[in-house]
Amino acid sequence: MLFWDDGRERNAYVVSNNASRTRFRFTGDAKINGDWSAGYLLEIAVRYANSANRSQVSASGSAATSSNGSNAFDIRHSAWWLDSKTFGRVWVGNTGTATDGITEINLSNVTSGGPDASDYNNGFRLRSATGALTSLSYGSIRNGGNFSVGEGDRNNTVKYVSPTFLGLNFQAAWSDDDAWDIALRYSGEFSGFRFAAGVGYQESRSQFAAGSAGCANVGPGGSVNSTSSTVGCSEVGLSASAMHVDTGLFLTGAYGIARDNNRQNFTNVGRVREDDSFWFVQGGIEKNYFGFGPTTLFAQYVNAHTGAAIGFDTNGTRNSAAASGNFAQFGAGGFVADSGVREFSVGINQNIAAAAMELYVTYHHVEADVATSATGSQVGKVRGPGQTFDAVIIGSLIRF
């Protein structure tokens, strides 16, 4: 259940929580000899009633509210692998890149929490000073609709995963067309503490490459040109988590930054911000108080800044980044030049081990600010009114 309040309207929807959507998988593997094996992974997810696609005007979701809006199946993984205990594993197909999950390393058992607010309010629209709904959604002022800048994604890729040595694991991947990333992860336990951490770097030379940065494909004079453009963006993402084994106290943090030098040319307006960044901290306690599974109590804070919000349609033209609709004070044809989103959350997660089940309740409070630049040579920068959004999510996750 998603209960929400945008300051003018409140309602409740029954949703599939995008933090961990319904999915099923088929796997197969075969042993070649004592060292080598091979296999295949096919994982399919369900977008029906996806919480990331809800809005004030859509309880069921549609393609108009989000690029993921239609009720459908989607392929999360479809890839084969060749594995050696000595040399590591190679993946080929549609699967996670090297930096996939690099900003989400967390030792606690939090089902509906983390740095990505797009899980529950991506499609909801901001309101103007008069309270009228605008055409700007929270997703359109967050680059890619994603807090987790620096995070990889699933893509058509070739990936290498090294064997784990002294708790360290290295991954490298190339994805079409044309991106690459590398990541280093660590996990271990000593002096009564468990630790896990990771850092990754990615570069993309493609306008449509998966990932949160989304390079602007810009040709001479700021025009969209897929054959003679200067495309390039890069991201760094990292996260770390620590838990005291005896007490269950834990602390998790993450940071990401992305830069796309083409956004200024793409918007062809006054000065705009060309980088995105976020930082996230979460803390709490996790213990098995009742004997049937750990109880996790947590609080978290996310602070995210997004530069020029660039959206694309299938032809690479400008779309939802335009600050139109009831944001008339931004100027006709204005573009989002800078935006800030801050989120505070508290929640509780109860594991029921015998049923492989999680029960959770999470409260989220989100605040947003938007600044735009009008088209033409003048900067014309105006900061919009503060926006607030509150949500309570109550749900369950069952693994079988």
pLDDT in tens, the chain (400 residues): 999 999 889 999 998 888 888 899 999 999 999 999 999 999 999 888 888 888 888 765 443 334 444 577 889 999 999 999 999 999 999 999 999 999 999 999 998 877 776 678 888 888 877 777 877 778 777 655 555 788 888 889 999 999 999 999 999 999 887 789 999 999 999 999 999 999 999 988 755 443 333 455 443 344 444 444 455 678 899 999 999 999 999 999 999 998 876 666 665 555 666 788 899 999 999 999 999 999 999 999 999 887 765 543 333 333 344 444 434 444 444 566 677 888 999 999 999 999 999 999 999 999 888 776 654 433 344 444 557 899 999 999 999 8
Alpha helices in 88-188 (DSSP H): 118-121, 138-141
Structural contact between residues 263 and 274, judged by C-beta atoms closer than 8 angstroms: yes
Which among 69, 94, 93, 236 has a CA at the least distance from the CA of 154? 94
* Dist CA 279 CA 355 (whole Å): 35
The helix/strand count (H/E) of the chain reads as 3, 20
Structural contact between residues 385 and 128, judged by C-beta atoms closer than 8 angstroms: yes
Judged by DSSP in three states, 111 sits in coil
Q: What share of the chain is helix, strand, coil (3-state, %, to 5)?
A: 10, 50, 40
pLDDT at residue 136, as a whole number? 73
Which among 228, 210, 212 has a CA at the least distance from the CA of 220? 228
pLDDT at residue 293, as a whole number? 95
Both tokens of residue 206? 């493609």
What residues contact residue 367 under an 8 Å CB cut-off, 6+ apart? 341, 342, 343, 386, 387, 388, 389
Kindly list the structural domains of the chain, giving each domain's residue range(s) and its CATH number in brackets, ordered by start.
Answer: 2-22+95-398 (2.40.160)
Could you tell me the sign of the dihedral formed by the alpha carbons of 70, 135, 268, 148, in that order? negative
Structural contact between residues 163 and 86, judged by C-beta atoms closer than 8 angstroms: yes
pLDDT at residue 57, as a whole number? 85
Apex 317 CA angle, 313 and 323, nearest 5:
90
pLDDT at residue 64, as a whole number? 37
pLDDT at residue 3, as a whole number? 95
pLDDT at residue 94, as a whole number? 95
Which among 195, 142, 202 has a CA at the least distance from the CA of 167? 195
